């Protein structure tokens, strides 16, 4: 670049700058000149104003309508975005479990079998599988804001449709409302890691992902706690319909409020990338890249394939336990619908605590493989202890063992998301997270149907042992995953610019080449 400067004079001085460049290590070693992929290795970034005819740290006039990838800073809006997402994810997950947590009451009201009520939960899993790839494509094509608006609108619509099912013969209407909510879930489940990457800095992504997953788990917790309180187990169907309507009106009002807030608050992405890895991801992004080729690359990544299987086994077991918990508790403790809901609440609340702790721990330690394996093994231990204590006849023991199991089992969810992003960077977070969730839905359906049949025919202990066997397999496969932390490597390749909250400052990266150039000139 120095040799092309028109102010250098005659060509006879050309050998001198070459020797200067070779002698001065600040130029040959500086990432922004010789190593940074957005300048030297990838032609797709050459059209970008920040990576064109100058190093990616030099100050230059900004071009309207473009982003300056040389400026790394986080936006104050990021916390509002992740908390709002967490809230409407909570609303959707509440609607997933609101039938299963009072399974026997809805069986009596609609006059249907336990299996039919189980399908109101399993339709969430079934809908996700065929719709994942179209929704992931929409996420890449139209971005976060469009997906957030669509998911929240469908969630709101499904909540209001259920209000038309307050008669015993209108069970098909409640199925329709639940199916609409299950479609909304497809627009929600794959977003936590994407929101964390797009809006949060390198030292915050795991915590942000945990907060995003936190909302989903909080919704499940409320879904275990609130329905048994709002809808008592009474025989009068008219009075029962009144209590069910109160629950449906509350969730419909909350869903509507959240949709309005998303329209006002939720933005596509911040003005500047929040981390070096995200800056490189923008630079490497090509509008001509094949969506299917990205999926093919992911399935060629053996570490990611192993993670997909192990994540599916763990989360599928959690889905089955959540769906069948009311039935298992009632078998051993008749008439304890409220306490069955509280046990579910204990599982999820302790899991939320585990998720937050694991997210903060990952941001500090970056020990993705070790943490994931340890949590998986403890999930297995917790499941075994829960299985052995469920039938002892002491509810307080079940509360303790279920809470211990939940701390690790639901605490594993954000670990899986973040580990997947590390293993697959710079592939789309939406696709990698979506594939994890597809595995969870597939195993969730298999485990729910199978464990339900085992419980009906042989009892709760054989059903729980069935899950323990697959959790043992998942822990063994997790041990074979190699910790290829690609996103961390991308963040370390170039010194991370100092976080700035809506204040532009010249970074240290930009000073080195500028000073040397002035000295040479």
What is the pLDDT at residue 492? 67
Over the stretch 467-476, which tens digit does the pLDDT of each residue have?
999 999 999 9
Over the stretch 20-61, which tens digit does the pLDDT of each residue have?
334 443 333 343 333 343 333 333 333 343 333 333 333 333
Non-local CB neighbours of 242 within 8 Å, separated by 6+ positions: none
Rg of the Cα trace of the chain? 26
Buried b (16+ CB within 10 A) or exposed e, 116-154: ebbbbbbbbbbbbeebbbebbebbbeeebeebbbbbbbb
Structure tokens, 472: 């043992």
Which of the 8 DSSP states describes residue 501?
A: B
What is the pLDDT at residue 260? 94
φ, ψ for residue 160, nearest 5 deg: -75, -30
- Integer angstrom CA distances of residue 8 from 28, 33, 53, 512: 20, 20, 17, 20
What is the pLDDT at residue 437? 84
Q: Which regions of the chain are under pLDDT 70?
A: 1-70, 74, 275, 277-291, 429, 490-521
What is the pLDDT at residue 285? 56
């Amino acid at each position: 670049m120095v040799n092309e400067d028109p102010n250098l004079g005659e060509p006879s001085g050309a050998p001198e700058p070459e020797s200067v460049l070779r002698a001065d290590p600040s130029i040959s070693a500086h990432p922004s000149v010789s190593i940074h992929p957005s300048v030297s290795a990838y032609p797709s970034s050459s059209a970008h104003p920040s990576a064109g005819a100058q190093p990616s740290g030099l100050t230059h006039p900004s071009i309207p309508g473009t982003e300056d990838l040389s400026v790394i800073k986080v936006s104050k809006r990021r916390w509002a975005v992740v908390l709002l997402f967490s809230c409407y994810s909570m609303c959707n997950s509440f609607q997933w479990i609101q039938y299963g947590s009072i399974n026997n009451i809805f069986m009596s009201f609609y006059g249907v079998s336990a299996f039919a009520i189980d399908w109101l939960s399993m339709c969430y899993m079934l809908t996700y599988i065929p719709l994942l790839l179209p929704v992931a494509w929409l996420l890449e094509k139209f971005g976060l804001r469009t997906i957030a608006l669509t998911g929240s609108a469908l969630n709101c619509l499904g909540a209001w449709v259920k209000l038309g099912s307050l008669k015993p013969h209108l069970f098909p209407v409640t199925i329709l409302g639940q199916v609409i909510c299950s479609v909304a879930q497809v627009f929600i489940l794959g977003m936590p890691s994407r929101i964390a990457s797009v809006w949060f800095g390198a030292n915050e992504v795991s915590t942000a992902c945990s907060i995003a997953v936190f909302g989903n788990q909080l919704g499940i917790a409320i879904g275990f706690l609130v329905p048994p309180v709002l809808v008592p187990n009474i025989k009068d169907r008219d009075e029962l319909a009144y209590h069910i309507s109160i629950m449906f009106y509350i969730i419909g009002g909350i869903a509507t409020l959240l949709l309005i807030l998303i329209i006002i608050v939720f933005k596509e992405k911040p003005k500047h990338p929040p981390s070096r890895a995200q800056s490189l991801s923008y630079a490497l992004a090509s509008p001509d890249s094949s969506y299917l080729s990205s999926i093919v690359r992911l399935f060629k990544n053996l570490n990611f394939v192993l993670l997909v299987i192990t994540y599916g086994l763990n989360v599928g077991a959690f889905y089955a336990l959540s769906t069948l918990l009311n039935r298992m508790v009632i078998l051993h403790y008749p008439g304890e619908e409220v306490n069955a809901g509280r046990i579910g609440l204990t599982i999820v609340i302790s899991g939320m605590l585990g998720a937050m702790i694991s997210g903060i721990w990952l941001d500090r330690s970056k020990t993705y493989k070790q943490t994931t394996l340890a949590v998986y093994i403890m999930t297995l231990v917790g499941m075994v202890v829960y299985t052995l204590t469920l039938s002892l006849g002491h509810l307080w023991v079940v509360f303790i063992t279920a809470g211990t199991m939940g701390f690790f089992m639901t605490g594993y969810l954000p670990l899986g998301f973040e580990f997947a992003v590390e293993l697959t960077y710079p592939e789309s977070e939406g696709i990698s997270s979506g594939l994890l969730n597809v595995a969870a839905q597939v195993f969730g359906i298999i485990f729910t149907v199978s464990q339900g049949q085992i419980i009906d025919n042989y009892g709760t202990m054989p059903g729980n042992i069935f899950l323990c066997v697959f959790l043992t397999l998942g822990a063994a496969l997790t041990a074979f995953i190699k910790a290829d932390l690609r996103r961390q490597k991308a963040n370390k390749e170039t010194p991370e610019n100092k976080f700035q909250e809506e204040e532009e400052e010249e970074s240290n990266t930009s000073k080195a080449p500028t000073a040397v150039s002035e000295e040479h000139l």
